């Protein structure tokens, strides 16, 4: 209970598992610009100290193995071109202002009109915008890994959370679940099945990833929490949500954090991982060298993308 009271204010209400979702019809999507902004700073982390649990020391409940992909040695010419980042907005009566978001479309998206793609939803940290994941290089890293055949092509959606409120104090989660996800599936050639939809985030965005992945487990096949700041209101209900997960239906879960992160965030991330341990819920836990900083998340982008796309 002490841990719950001290959960980080980087912020859960929401729909209980198993509740029927009614899609709202008052959302309008507007495309405002297309950009492929370059990354202006090269970020890297050089480990200075061995972590208590290293990248290779994974929680014992990690599922072993995975499907093997065969990559064609002949790559289409369009893979030599970068993907696109499209800036869009969704006007909704549930929020005071339109929901701004970015969409990464992989190389060859336009050239292969019959192909459908899995989707990764990535949420930024508190005080930042929908450009954070884009700015630290998630599009460039995706281009590189796709061209190398290391990961399959995917669509990445990066919403802008303008609030610092708890999920129970804003309609943001309702808009994401009831309006944004359906709009993405209507607008783009997505694979809309649960196993082809993942959610992740850094810091406060990691709190959103846990909120969405556990509250709406039936919609997401994978959950990535990078230096997560779990919401206070989710902390009061997350045990109940985990207990309500049907056996074998938990999304794949990945948690990572730097050993020099803020003590309160390290504490809450460890608390959440402990809840998964207690319930024997399969997951990965990584304690790396690093701080609560963009340099840390940028240094691990390849690992994140490879993990999210396993099985795709």
Could you state, in order of their start, the residue ranges of all structural domains in the chain?
2-61+78-308
In the chain, at which residue ranges do the beta strands (DSSP E only) sit? 28-35, 84-91, 99-105, 119-123, 155-159, 197-202, 222-226, 252-258, 284-288
Q: What does the pLDDT read at residue 29?
A: 61
Q: How far apart are CA 102 and CA 112, in angstroms?
A: 21
Burial of 214 (0-12, 13-18, 19+ CB in 10 A): buried
What pLDDT, in 10s, does the model give residues 10-38? 443 333 333 333 444 456 666 554 444 44
Listed in sequence order, the residues at least 6 apart from 53 whose beta carbon sits closer than 8 Å to its beta carbon are 285, 286, 287
Burial of 67 (0-12, 13-18, 19+ CB in 10 A): exposed
Residues 195-209: what's their mean pLDDT? 98
Q: What does the pLDDT read at residue 25?
A: 42
Q: How far apart are CA 257 and CA 40, in angstroms?
A: 25
What pLDDT, in 10s, does the model give residues 231-255? 999 988 999 999 999 999 999 999 9
Fold of 2-61+78-308: Rossmann fold (3.40.50)
Q: What does the pLDDT read at residue 36?
A: 42
pTM to 2 decimal places: 0.79
For residue 66, give both structure tokens. 């995975």
On the question of pLDDT at 106 being above 60, the answer is yes
On the question of pLDDT at 58 being above 60, the answer is no
What pLDDT, in 10s, does the model give residues 115-163? 999 999 999 999 999 999 999 999 999 999 999 999 999 999 999 999 8
Q: Which of 17-21, 70-74, 172-176, 220-224 has the lowest mean pLDDT?
A: 17-21
Q: How far apart are CA 215 and CA 212, in angstroms?
A: 5
């Amino acid at each position: 209970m002490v841990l719950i009271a001290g959960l980080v204010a980087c912020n859960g209400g929401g729909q209980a598992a198993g509740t029927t979702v009614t899609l709202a019809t008052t959302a309008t999507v507007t495309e405002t610009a297309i950009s492929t902004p370059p990354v202006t700073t090269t970020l890297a982390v050089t480990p200075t100290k061995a972590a208590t649990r290293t990248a290779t020391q994974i929680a014992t409940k990690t599922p072993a193995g995975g499907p093997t992909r065969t990559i064609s040695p002949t790559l289409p010419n369009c893979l030599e071109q970068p993907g696109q980042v499209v800036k869009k907005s969704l006007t909704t009566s549930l929020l005071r202002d339109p929901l701004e978001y970015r969409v990464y479309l992989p190389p060859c998206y336009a050239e292969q009109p019959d192909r459908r793609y899995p989707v990764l939803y990535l949420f930024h940290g508190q005080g930042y915008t929908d450009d954070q994941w884009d700015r630290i290089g998630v599009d460039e890293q995706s281009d590189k890994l796709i061209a190398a055949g290391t990961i399959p092509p995917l669509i990445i959606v990066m919403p802008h959370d303008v609030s610092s409120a708890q999920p129970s104090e804003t309609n943001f989660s309702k808009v994401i679940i009831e309006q944004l996800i359906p709009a993405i599936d209507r607008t783009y050639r997505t694979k809309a099945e649960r196993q082809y939809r993942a959610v992740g985030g850094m810091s406060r965005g990691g709190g959103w990833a846990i909120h969405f992945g556990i509250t709406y487990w039936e919609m997401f096949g994978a959950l990535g929490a990078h230096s997560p700041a779990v919401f206070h209101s989710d902390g009061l209900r997350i045990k109940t949500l985990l207990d309500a997960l049907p056996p074998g239906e938990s999304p794949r879960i990945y948690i990572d954090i730097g050993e020099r992160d803020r003590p309160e965030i390290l504490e809450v991330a460890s608390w959440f991982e402990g809840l998964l341990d207690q319930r024997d819920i399969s997951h990965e836990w990584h304690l790396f060298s690093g701080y609560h900083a963009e340099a840390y998340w940028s240094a691990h982008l390849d690992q994140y993308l490879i993990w999210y796309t396993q099985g795709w």
